Structure 1
Amino acid sequence: MVKSLPMDIAIQSLSTVQTDLRQKLSQGAQKIFWDTAEVKNFPSEAERQVFIYKYFSYYLETNPDLFICAFLGEQVYGYICGVADTRKHRELYHCADHIPIFDDLYEEYPAHLHINLAAESRGMGLGGRLVAALEKVLRRETEACGLHLVTSEGARNVGFYRKNGFTREVSRGILPEEPRMLFMGKRL
């Protein structure tokens, strides 16, 4: 039997939902964040908090208009979050090592995103719908001319991003002994 998602899944910015529901949806999105995180063990609670901050909490706190959830009732199936201009979020340059190494590309692709889906939601078009929803908000409410993300070279998600129009690719390393990071950009 082919799995499918309910047809009436809402895709909505957290800034537009009622406060009580916003709290529940952000908790559901955070559960998906931890379920999908490659890193689960940290030397200290402080390092765990830095990790969630740079990939999740920062966006929830500073850009709720660009924190979009796919949900039905209180069940979250996935989320996408980001900023309209990476260069205006200097704090990210200090906590996310990959941000500074691609600084020369942000003029053309200023906005960036993070996306995660619950395991049961993958492969059914929901990720593409979330990307489209973020792009719509960026086009309507910001001056962003391009959107980007950074992933690892050879990551399983590279095909998804290519399929969704992220055709500009630049590979760079942070440190010589570490895996190279892949910048993927899309014009809006």
Structure 2
Amino acid sequence: MRIRTFHEEDRPALRELATRAAQGSPTETLWGHPESEAQIYLEPYMDHEPESLFLAEADGVLVGYLTGCVDTAVFPSETRRIEDAIRTHRLILRPGPAAFFARSALDAAGAALRRAPTAGEIHDQRWPAHLHINVAPEGRGTGAADGLMDQWFERLRSLGSPGCHLQTVVENTRAVRFFERMGFTPHGPAPVVPGMRYLGGRVHQRTMVRSC
């Protein structure tokens, strides 16, 4: 297993890996349009902070990746990235995404009536960095995920970062257990993620934090 940094020529293989690695998980897709979801959750990291993007490679094939951001405050916000993707891909004219956004609006309205929080980004200088990690089935149990996390925290320590946060979902129990093993602890409530469904039920955001 080789852990290395991202290179520009890795873009096509990384896009393919991102789709393949997410299959079957609660966060496999938001609205069933991989191109727009990659524009939100993958391409900004290749464009804005490639030095914080690490790849796991086995026999020359990518099997995992970690996208990181050292300072969330200066990174394009998730809201902005979603808005850009909606415009670029005209998602409100596509049946799948349009249904997701309608369901999301209903979920948000219901939460507002109950005065309950909904999922969203956090900005806390105790944990300014954030990450996303994904490993394909053939890379699991090989040390790829551990190696990616080790490389990421080595980078954060070298830059003097105080800590890192991440956001997964409660329903992804395998991911939550892995992050706990990596030293992350739950932080804050577990609000509904508007619009998302998994096995017919609502999905809840789990924020986790770790000091460097």
TM-score by length of 1: 0.76
| C-alpha RMSD over aligned residues | 2.7
1: distance between equivalents of 2:166 and 2:53? 15
1:115-134 to structure 2, matched below 5 A, reads: 115-134=133-152
Instruction: Tell me if the contact between 1:117 and 1:127 (Cα under 8 Å) persists in the aligned partners.
Output: yes
Deviations for 1:28-67, whole angstroms, at most 9, x for unmatched residues? 222220112312863xxxx543310221111011111001
Aligned partner of residue 154 in structure 1, secondary structure: coil
- The secondary structure found in structure 1 opposite 2:152 is helix
Decide which of 12, 22, 44 is 2:4's aligned counterpart. 12
Secondary structure at the residue paired with 2:187? strand
Aligned pairs for 1:54-133 within 5 A:
54-72=40-58, 74-95=60-81, 101-104=120-123, 106-133=124-151
Letter in 2 for 1:164: M
Residue identity matched to 1:60: M
Identity of counterpart residues, as a percentage? 23
SS in 2 for 1:120: helix
CA distance in 2, matches of 1:40, 1:154: 15
SS of the equivalent of 1:108 reads coil
Residue 148 of structure 1 corresponds to 165
- Does the CA contact (< 8 Å) of 1:102 and 1:183 recur in 2? no
Mapped contact 1:50–1:95 kept (Cα < 8 A): no
Greater displacement, 145-154 / 170-179: 170-179
Q: Report how many residues are paired.
A: 166
CA contact (8 A) 1:66 1:134 kept: yes
Aligned to 2:178: 160
Greater Rg over alpha carbons, structure: 2
Q: Is the alpha carbon distance of 1:57 and 1:90 closer, same or farther for their aligned partners in structure 2, counting shifts above 3 Å? A: closer
* Deviation at residue 150 of structure 1 after TM alignment: 0.6
SS of 1:160's partner is helix
Distance 1:69 1:126 in 2: 9
The CA distance in 1 between the partners of 2:34 and 2:13, in whole Å, is 18
Among 163, 183, 192, the residue aligned to 1:173:
192
Change (3 A) 1:153 1:96: farther
Alignment partners' CA distance in 2, 1:114 and 1:29? 14
Say which SS state the counterpart of residue 42 (structure 2) adopts.
helix
Cα distance in 2 for partners of 1:70, 1:183 equals: 24
Please give the secondary structure, in 2, of the residue aligned with 1:157. Answer: helix
